[in-house]
Amino acid sequence: MKLILDLDTGIDDALAIAYTAGQTEAELIGITTSFGNVTVDTAVRNSINILDLVGKKDVPVYRGAAHPWEKESYEPGEVVYQIHGRNGIGNVDLGEARREPEEMEAADYIIEMANTYGKNLTLVTTAPLTNLANAIRKNKEAIDKIGKIVTMGGALTVPGNITPYAEANIYADACAAKYVFESGIPIVLVGLDVTMKTLITKKDIQSWEEADSKASKAITDMAVYYYTNELDYTEIGGAMHDPLAVDAAIHPDVIKNILPINLTVETEGITKGRIIGDMKLLNEKKKSCLVCVDVDSDTFIKRFTAAVRKVIA
């Protein structure tokens, strides 16, 4: 299986890169980036730096959307800085990137890889859905060929994290997310319904700390920053949103309950960014989204922490 990660490279995105680097089921062929936890330029720099840190210097990185569909620019807000640090990676200093991103734009790369690999391609998005929406808008026929799309986003059966109704990735570009869901492209949605059940604590990452290398120090510091700042859940742990999306893509059995549904997204008012069943399609037999609602968190946390440990030793 060929894998593309579409990231807004903050801390849990960085951990998703490390996890992907340490597993053996899928080949990471490229990273596409967008605004979100950071600006798109910082997402490019962080992605390159993390790839270098975990021994994946050859994986190309593509620059994508710099702002949501409805805006002309983007800067992360204070809540995001609190969770991911001023540089997106918990203020861990990895310096300037040692290489440039590729010239091709992210959406074009996704389209090209969809045409090249078809069913053998899996796309995991853990960022606002702007790059995927742009790719569908440009060439839906190509995107239809992709074997599997797994998206970290949304909150269907639990409250949101950026507002009581909305999860951050969907909220960040609600119009693009609505366009993606209403396009009918099949999507597996790994939202807060499951990611709030997969929390890491100090105990889970003890083996990372013990690895005692430059990479282990950087990755451990990021994880500690994250679980001590994310939503003030200090006592409970940090939600592994983006690494779980990778796990659900390569080990679908980790998901223990799914709800097939045709989704839409609310784009205005206090419910902006809320995912909800599309009234127009309630009686439609074919459902384009599979929303994950339960997960085997122990299996995931063990598999994830062991894979990361391999690439930071």
What tokens does 90 get? 């918990």
* Distance in Å, CB of 313 to Ca ion, minimum: 25
Binder to ligand BDR among 6, 12, 247, 266 (CB under 6 A)?
12
Rounded to 5 degrees, what angle do the CA atoms 109, 110, 114 make?
115
Binder to ligand BDR among 6, 105, 167, 247 (CB under 6 A)?
167
* Distance in Å, CB of 202 to Ca ion, minimum: 22
Residue the block writes with tokens 């797994």? 150
Q: What's the CA gap between 89 and 53, in Å, rounded? A: 13
Known active-site residue 84? no
Q: What's the CA gap between 255 and 233, in Å, rounded? A: 24
> Which residue among the candidates 241, 242, 247, 296 is catalytic per the annotation?
241
Binding-residue pattern over the window 115 to 144 for ligand BDR, x denoting contact by CB under 6 A: -----------x------------------
Q: How far is CA 154 from the centre of its chain?
A: 12
What 3-state DSSP class applies to 100? Answer: coil
* CA-based torsion, 26, 122, 251, 274: positive or negative: positive
Tell me the DSSP string of 177-213.
HHHHHHTT--EEEE-HHHHTT-EE-TTTTHHHHHH-S
The residues, any chain, with a CB within 8 Å of residue 69's CB and separated by 6 or more, are 130, 133, 173, 175, 176, 179
**Do the bridges between strand 263-265 and strand 275-277 make them parallel or antiparallel, or are there none, so unpaired?**
antiparallel
Rounded to 5 degrees, what angle do the CA atoms 122, 85, 87 make?
70
Stretch that binds ligand BDR, among 138-146, 166-174, 213-221, 269-277 (CB under 6 A): 166-174
Examine residue 6 and tell whether it contacts Ca ion (CB under 5 A).
no
Binder to ligand BDR among 148, 178, 241, 274 (CB under 6 A)?
241
* Distance in Å, CB of 94 to Ca ion, minimum: 18
* Distance in Å, CB of 83 to ligand BDR, minimum: 6
Examine residue 13 and tell whether it contacts Ca ion (CB under 5 A).
yes
Q: What's the CA gap between 33 and 73, in Å, rounded? A: 15
Choice between 142 and 263, CB closer to ligand BDR:
263
Binder to ligand BDR among 6, 13, 247, 296 (CB under 6 A)?
13
**Do the bridges between strand 121-126 and strand 2-7 make them parallel or antiparallel, or are there none, so unpaired?**
parallel
Known active-site residue 294? no
Examine residue 34 and tell whether it contacts ligand BDR (CB under 6 A).
no
Examine residue 46 and tell whether it contacts Ca ion (CB under 5 A).
no
Binder to ligand BDR among 21, 31, 53, 168 (CB under 6 A)?
168
Roughly what angle, to the nearest 10 degrees, separates helices 40-53 and 214-229?
130
Residue 161 interacting partner from ligand BDR, Ca ion, none (CB closer than 5 to 8 Å by kind): ligand BDR
Examine residue 193 and tell whether it contacts ligand BDR (CB under 6 A).
no
Examine residue 169 and tell whether it contacts ligand BDR (CB under 6 A).
yes
Active site residues: 8, 241
Using CB under 6 A, list all residues that contact ligand BDR: 10, 12-13, 37, 126, 152, 161, 167-169, 241-242
Using CB under 5 A, list all residues that contact Ca ion: 8, 13, 126, 242
